[in-house]
Amino acid sequence: MRTALRRLLQGLLVLALIPFLLDVPAGADASAESLLATGAAPNATVVSVEGRRTVVATAGRSSDPALVLIHGFGGSTFGWRHVMEPLAASGWYVVALDLPGFGLAEKGWGGAYDHASHARFVLAAMDQMQINQAVLAGHSMGGNVVSWVAALAPERIRALALIDAAIVSPTVTPSSAASTALSLPPLRRATRILIRSAFTEATFGELLSSAFAVKSAATPEMIRGYAAASRLPEWDAALLGVLRDGSKNALTQPIAEIVSRAGAPIPTLILWGADDSWVPLSAGESLRDALPAATYVVLPGLGHVPFEEDPEVFTRAMQEWLAALK
C-alpha cells in the first residue's frame, strides 16, 4: 500500500513539473505602440488609465456630445475603424477604447477582467477624458459591460446601444470551475503552452469567419488587425484571466431595472444582425421583450459583427437612432 501511494505521489509530482520543463512558445514580444497602425482604429494612442496601459481612439470634436464604443470578446478599437469618422460626422465625439486584457491593452494574469471591473475602467477613462455623460454602445460582451456601467453610474449614461449584446442575466448560475482549475500553476502553464502553440492568424480568421454572415468581410487585413493582440507579451495569460473571472459577470439586477433608472428611463437601442450565429436573434427578441420601450432594429443578412460586415448599413442605423437623441 505504501509503495503504491509513493508511486502515485511521484507520478502526480512528475505531472505537475512537466509544464515547467517546457518553454512557453516565444513570439509575443511586440509593443502596443508598434502595433497601432495594424491593430487599432485611426487616431489611436497608448494611454494609461488608473495605472493600466490601454489604447484610446477618437474621432470628431471633443465639444460634441460623446459616444463611447465598447468592443466585444476578442475585439478592440480596431473593429470600429470604419464607423468612427462617419458617426463623428453626425455631430458626435466618438471614443473607442481597449478593455483591459483585450486588443492592445496591457496584458497579464494578475489583472481584474470581470465586467464590473471593466465598467469601472470605462468610467475612469471617461473621467480622464473629462466626459461627464455619454451614449454608450456595447457590442456582444461589451453590451454586458455597458449595462454594468449603467448599473454602477446611471447618471453618466445618456443612452445605451446594445449591439448583438451578450447580456448575462442575474438568474445565470455562475460556475467557478475555470477559476478553480486555473488557480493551479501547473495547469495554467500547460494551458498557456497549448494556447500559444495552437493560435495563429489562421485561427483568428476561422473564428472571425464563423461570426460573420458575410464571409467575404473577413479579409487578410482584418484578420491581421484582430490577431495583433496575440503579438503582445502575456496575451495568453490575460485570456486565461478573462476565463478565470467569467463567473463574476452576471448583472446584479435585471436589465429592465437598470434601464428604468428611477423614473427617467435610459433611451435604449437594440441592434441585431438577423443572421447572428453567435448570439442569435432570439436573444435580441428576448431583450426587446424585456425592454419594450427600446428601439429595436434588425439588420437583414448580417451576422454577429454588423459594423464589420456592412459598415454603411450599421452606421445608418446608428445615425437614425442617435438623431432622435439630440
Ordered DSSP codes for 159-181: EEEEES-----TTS----HHHHH
Cell triple for 319: 445615425
Helices 141-152 and 115-128 meet at what angle, rounded to 10? 70
Q: What is the mean pLDDT of residues 170-197?
A: 81
Q: What pLDDT does residue 174 have?
A: 75
Q: Are 270 and 295 in contact (CB under 8 A)?
A: yes
Packing angle between helix 185-198 and helix 2-21, nearest 10 degrees? Answer: 40
Reported as a pLDDT band with limits 50, 70 and 90, residue 3 is low
DSSP structural state of residue 81:
T
The answer, yes or no, to whether residue 20 has pLDDT greater than 50, is no
Name the CATH architecture for the domain at 28-323: 3-Layer(aba) Sandwich (3.40)
DSSP result, 107-128: --SSS--SHHHHHHHHHHHHHH
C-alpha cell at 164: 448583438
CA distance 305 to 310: 9
Residue-wise pLDDT for 33-79, tens only, equals 999 999 999 999 999 999 999 999 999 999 999 999 999 999 999 99
Mean pLDDT score across all residues of the chain? 90
Task: Look up the pTM and report it.
Answer: 0.91
Domain extents in the chain:
28-323
Please report how many Cα atoms fall inside a 13 Å half-sphere around the Cα of residue 211, on the Cβ side. 24
Strands in 66-70's sheet, in edge-to-edge order, are 44-49, 52-59, 93-97, 66-70, 134-139, 157-163, 268-273, 295-299
pLDDT for the residue numbered 24: 45
Write the pLDDT tens digit of every residue in 83-96.
999 999 999 999 99
Higher pLDDT, 162 or 24: 162
Which tens digits make up the pLDDT trace of 104-152? 999 999 999 999 999 999 999 999 999 999 999 999 999 999 999 999 9
Residue 69: closest CA among 52, 89, 92, 48: 92
Cβ burial 238-258 (10 Å sphere, 16+ → b, else e): bbbbbebbbbbbbbeeebeeb
